[in-house]
Structure 1
Amino acid sequence: MRGSAEETARRFIRREFPACEAALLAGSTVQGEATPSSDLDLVIFDESQQSPFRRTYQSEGWIIEAFVLTKETYRYFFDLAVETAIPSLLRMCAEGRILFGAEEVRGIVAEARSDLLAGPPPWSRQELRQARYGLGESLADFEGCPRREEALFIAAKLAEQLAAFALRTRGEWLGDGKWLQRGLQRCDAAAAGELHAALEAYYGSGHKEPLAALTRRWLTPFGGILSEGYAEGGSGEEEETEEL
């Protein structure tokens, strides 16, 4: 039986990163959502390291994901999170529990919280066009696919695109895997329920129409499916750079 998440994390850090200036424990164990398969997410600030890295360890029955940074490199990853709208590291620093070095990371935690609260930059018109075009392509593939074993994968792709579309058109952060669904649930529980029901209709009973109809309905306020006239690069993009 594995031991306490926090105590395991503290022992691991003392053993593997004895020179670190600060460390935070983040993820589901801090948020009270841990399951028997949850791992430990650690953000470690260690100036003795030559470069930032991420590495997976195993200790005392736990899988440990260590994100090792320095004070010179963390901002690059914060900026990348904002650019991609996927705030994994921002959230870990903003919401994590400081294990060591509170004074060392107080300012960094404040930066993460400020960036997280501000949200991602809005989509440009071209990014919206790309999303509309991509959803239209996936929908056409889904509706026209005669092989269920292939359509299962297309439906999964369409679900991710729809969740991302709903979040970004609302000015919200994205996520990966379960965090995408959780983000949509927090942002718009009704929309999350609609997407869930449409997926259940297909995966459970093979009915494509609910997912297809949902895709068209969510796209309608933004101009619907985009196909003819879509372009990337060259002069076709020049007029589509202003934000929504």
Structure 2
Amino acid sequence: MDSNDPNVAEWVRHISYARYPHAAAIVLGGSHANGTANPRSDVDIAVIDNSVDAAYRESNIVEGKPVEWFVFTEKALPRFFREARRTALPTVLRLLACGRWLESSHGCRRWHSRAALFLAAGPAGWSLDEMNQARYELTELLEDLEENRDRIERLVVAQQLGVRLIRFYLRTEACWLGEGKWLWRMLELYNRGMASRYAAALDRLGREDDELPLIRLADEILDANGGRWFDGYYAEMRQLAD
């Protein structure tokens, strides 16, 4: 089944009502909603059902197809919207704002417009403490990359640096983040030039074992936000529970 299958919407309705007979809304999300699905793509389905005890996410195989369920009550949705803004991870907002609403009660439909408004507003601002913590972590990774001569260890450090660098850049630019492939997609969407430079730096490291382009790019991004930070860093350590 792919996104061009005319029966996909009916199939989603069928399995959703079989599982959630009291559903107030059914939303098809992800690649099946935007027309980019292939036969192996997960089927992302958001369900608003006020009869469930709590919101949850569940993955399972339904009639041979991988399905990701995102189940909410209307009472829980405002908390998820606020959490999306706080963490800059818009998974729920994107599902409801950009998905295909297959069925919904009149009252539920308002969540589509609310999600779109939250998505357009962008994430909450990054606090100075959060940014400085990220600066410190990036500084440590950069120093490890510069000083370590073991190739495999450098590649592991570079992988961590690469992910955290995208997150740092997008957060300091007040942009939404993403998880997995969506982090890269958000960088491409926001600044294709920066994405190209980042990809070239990673390619140079992988092909030629040359970390300098990645280090230079990281320093450029850090310098625009106070530079590397080690001297004077302070953070209280939480006591471990017995």
Deviation at 1:50, TM superposition (A): 1.3
**Local SS of the residue matching 1:100:** strand
Deviation at 1:102, TM superposition (A): 4.8
Q: For the residues of structure 1 that align with 2:198 and 2:43, how far apart are their CA atoms?
A: 30
User: Root-mean-square deviation (CA), in Å?
Assistant: 1.7
Native 8 Å contact 1:8 1:60 kept in 2: no
Q: For the residues of structure 1 that align with 2:90 and 2:206, how far apart are their CA atoms?
A: 30
* Amino acid in structure 2 at the alignment position of 1:173: W
* Amino acid in structure 2 at the alignment position of 1:221: A
Q: Which residue does the alignment assign to 1:116?
A: 119
Deviation larger for 141-150 or 155-164: 141-150
Q: Which residue does the alignment assign to 1:127?
A: 130
Deviation at 1:28, TM superposition (A): 1.3
Structure 2: gaps of 5 or more residues: 238-242
1:60 to 60, 63, 70: 63
Q: For the residues of structure 2 that align with 1:229 and 1:6, how far apart are their CA atoms?
A: 57
Deviation at 1:87, TM superposition (A): 0.6
Aligned pair count reads 234
Report the TM-score, using the length of structure 2 for normalisation: 0.91
Native 8 Å contact 1:82 1:120 kept in 2: yes
Q: Which residue does the alignment assign to 1:225?
A: 228
* Amino acid in structure 2 at the alignment position of 1:154: V
Q: For the residues of structure 2 that align with 1:50 and 1:58, how far apart are their CA atoms?
A: 23
Deviation at 1:233, TM superposition (A): 4.3
1:12 to 15, 18, 24: 15
Report the TM-score, using the length of structure 1 for normalisation: 0.90
* Amino acid in structure 2 at the alignment position of 1:200: D
Q: How high is the sequence identity, in percent, across the aligned residues?
A: 36
Native 8 Å contact 1:22 1:104 kept in 2: no
Higher relative contact order at CA 8 Å, sep ≥6: structure 1 or structure 2? Answer: 1
1:205 corresponds to 2:208? yes
2:100 to 93, 97, 100: 97
**Local SS of the residue matching 2:108:** helix
1:31 to 22, 30, 34: 34
The 5 A counterparts of 1:40-59 are 40-59=43-62
Deviation larger for 70-79 or 31-40: 31-40
**Local SS of the residue matching 1:105:** coil
1:175 corresponds to 2:178? yes
Q: For the residues of structure 1 that align with 2:117 and 2:149, how far apart are their CA atoms?
A: 48
Deviation at 1:148, TM superposition (A): 2.1
Structure 1: gaps of 5 or more residues: 235-244
Deviation at 1:103, TM superposition (A): 1.8
1:73 corresponds to 2:73? no
